[in-house]
Chain A
Amino acid sequence: MAALFECDGLTKLYGIVMGVNDLSLELEPGIHGLLGPNGAGKSTLIKLITGQLRPTEGRIRVFGENPWNNPQLLGRMGYCPEHDAFWNSLTGLQFVTTLGEFSGLESSIAKDGAREALGRVGATEFMDRPISTYSKGMRQRTKLAQALVHHPDLLVLDEPLSGTDPVGRREIMDLVGELGAEGKSVLVSSHVMHEVQAMTDRFLLIFGGRILAAGDVHEIRQLMYEIPHRIRIVCDQPRELAALLTRELAVEGVELDHERGELWVQTREPRSLFHTLPQYAADASIEITELGSEDESLDAVFEYLVGGGI
């Protein structure tokens, strides 16, 4: 089975401005989050994947094929652009049907497909109204439906949650999960970490046109071994536990939050700490009620990476 996406030395320049810089990676089918702040190179990478741009240097393959000027391959992709663009005089149903026809579907099949896709994104109610009357959220759902109408193998969603209300957000996140469960691959870009984290645990972190890290959040965390983890412990005797933990080699620092009764432990070997912590607690009869590592959140990893940590 061909990789979902692979590139080797992929570089895209806009004159002297670097879009992406010497990217080499391979992604397996599945749901992947593409994360980075505005201007990081996400859109350029997406445009290269969807055949809108030609690499300045290097090679890019999607399902083993070059996407540039490759209508057959583009027929296997569904692309939901970030920007708000429509043929406003059309209704949502006409818009999605037309794009289904552009994807090679017969007119009647495209119409059925459009109804189905609009139903999946919760747009049935307003699909017969002209798009010019739609709210931002309705437009976002319609844009998503046009990417689904021809049942593509790969969905490329550029900031799909932008402009949606909390309910819409949840529905779109669930839809991405459903598509993944159906065996579709999804590449979803965002600059909001927790949104992507709710859809997948596989990420590409991009900044300055370069991939900073790729893998699941734990793998990324593992790669960044030198990043200290901060572990939060809530227990009935924080002072006593703090004294015990300072003797532990894996622990680099301990902070006590008297007001909240929390203990913050800094370590580079969280697994070792998690292994030994129950023993300390049992020996000193300390009751631990909460235990968590905030650094496991993608936010922390990303902040560290783009903050010059590597």
Chain B
Amino acid sequence: MKALFRLTLLQMLGRKKLWILLAFLSLPILLVGSILLAGGLRGVQEEAGEQIAVVILYVLYPQTLCILVALLYGASLLAGEIEDKTLVYLFTRALPRWKVLAGKYLATSVALSVLTSLSMTLCFAVFDAPFGLRVWLALFVAITGACFTYTAIFSLLGLLVPQRAIPVGILYGVVFELLLSSVPAVINELTTSYYLRSLAYWIADISLPLDIDEVVGLVSADPVRAVLAILVISGVTLSLSALLIHRREWPLNEGV
């Protein structure tokens, strides 16, 4: 498992996709930097205080960027090995197939969490606002939870619809995790975003610049329920992926 973890990290570094990932991760920093340069943030801070900045960071990272980076890598968790015809080395060794999935999933999720958190921390520094450690921690937990959960969801998607994983994943992200999760009604409890947001809100312990009636519907899951929901979503999707990998024949190489 350790070797697979190491190999997956090396592969992440060696692929062209890394440049797309770095571009994604630098976007919020550039965006916040541009706002600062334009003097816009000062106005925002005067009007709504640090809470607006927190919401911006939250929307930028756990709710948008984490979905994109998890889709970029999660949907092709095994596809890269299939494309390079190296899957054969993983599936013909004394290595249960579920361990192959688990090793690659863990390495990918950890790498995405670390890199995205690093980007968020830079953004946090660029904002130069007195958010405090609790807000940073809330964002860090939400980013980590998002990277792990969305990578699990998109790895399943990549196995179910390998050719159309990216468009289907974008559709899922927009419809479910952005739109549906923002509806202040029970239906948003079907989304991962709802639980991540509730957890982050609880950790940050700040008041949001919205009417409390609206806020209650968006962040009302208690922390235990939120953590459980995130674990269940990740666990169920990973188990389904493991089952698919276990049962399916894979195009390990070519020829009859």
- On chain A, the residues within 8 Å of B42 by CB distance are none
A43-B255, A69-B97, A85-B86 known; A52-B3 Cβ under 8 A: no
Is B38 at the interface (CB under 8 A from chain A)? Answer: no
**Cβ A74 vs Cβ B94 within 8 A:** yes
- On chain B, the residues within 8 Å of A17 by CB distance are 256
Which residues in window 78-99 of B have CB below 8 A to A?
84-86, 88-97
Give Cα A236–Cα B14 distance, bound, in whole angstroms.
Answer: 71
- On chain A, the residues within 8 Å of B6 by CB distance are 98
Is A82 at the interface (CB under 8 A from chain B)? Answer: yes
Which residues in window 78-124 of A have CB below 8 A to B?
79, 81-83, 85-90, 98-99, 101-104, 107, 110
Residue of A nearest to B103 (CB): A102
Q: Name the contact of B249 in the complex, choosing from A53, A86, A89, A99 (C-beta under 8 A).
A: A53
Which residues in window 54-110 of B have CB below 8 A to A?
84-86, 88-97
A89-B10, A99-B93, A102-B93 known; A52-B88 Cβ under 8 A: yes
Q: Name the contact of A102 in the complex, choosing from B3, B11, B250 (C-beta under 8 A).
A: B3
Is B252 at the interface (CB under 8 A from chain A)? Answer: yes
Is B254 at the interface (CB under 8 A from chain A)? Answer: yes
Is A47 at the interface (CB under 8 A from chain B)? Answer: yes
Give Cα A87–Cα B4 distance, bound, in whole angstroms.
Answer: 12
Instruction: Classify chain B's interface size.
Output: 20 to 34
**Cβ B93 vs Cβ A89 within 8 A:** no
- On chain B, the residues within 8 Å of A98 by CB distance are 3, 6-7
**Residue from B11, B250, B255 whose CB has the most chain A CB atoms within 10 Å:** B255
- On chain B, the residues within 8 Å of A209 by CB distance are 256
Is A278 at the interface (CB under 8 A from chain B)? Answer: no
**Residues of A in contact, count (CB < 8 Å):** 42
Is B134 at the interface (CB under 8 A from chain A)? Answer: no
Is A146 at the interface (CB under 8 A from chain B)? Answer: yes
Which residues in window 213-256 of B have CB below 8 A to A?
246, 249-250, 252-256
**Cβ B2 vs Cβ A83 within 8 A:** no
Residue of A nearest to B97 (CB): A69
Is A64 at the interface (CB under 8 A from chain B)? Answer: no
Give Cα A82–Cα B89 distance, bound, in whole angstroms.
Answer: 12
B17, chain A: closest CB distance, angstroms: 14
B19, chain A: closest CB distance, angstroms: 15
Interface digits, A183-208 against B, CB 8 Å rule (1 contact, 0 not)?
A: 00000000000000000000000000
Give Cα A51–Cα B92 distance, bound, in whole angstroms.
Answer: 7
**Cβ A86 vs Cβ B86 within 8 A:** yes
B83, chain A: closest CB distance, angstroms: 10
- On chain A, the residues within 8 Å of B89 by CB distance are 85, 99, 102, 146
Give Cα A162–Cα B232 distance, bound, in whole angstroms.
Answer: 49
Interface digits, B129-172 against A, CB 8 Å rule (1 contact, 0 not)?
A: 00000000000000000000000000000000000000000000
Residues of B in contact with A (beta carbons under 8 Å apart): 2-4, 6-7, 10-11, 13-14, 84-86, 88-97, 246, 249-250, 252-256
Instruction: Give the 7 A-B residue pairs with the shortest CB-CB distance, closest first.
Output: A75-B94, A101-B3, A85-B85, A102-B93, A43-B255, A89-B14, A104-B94
Residues of A in contact with B (beta carbons under 8 Å apart): 14, 17, 19, 38-41, 43-44, 47, 50-54, 69, 71-72, 74-75, 77, 79, 81-83, 85-90, 98-99, 101-104, 107, 110, 146, 150, 209
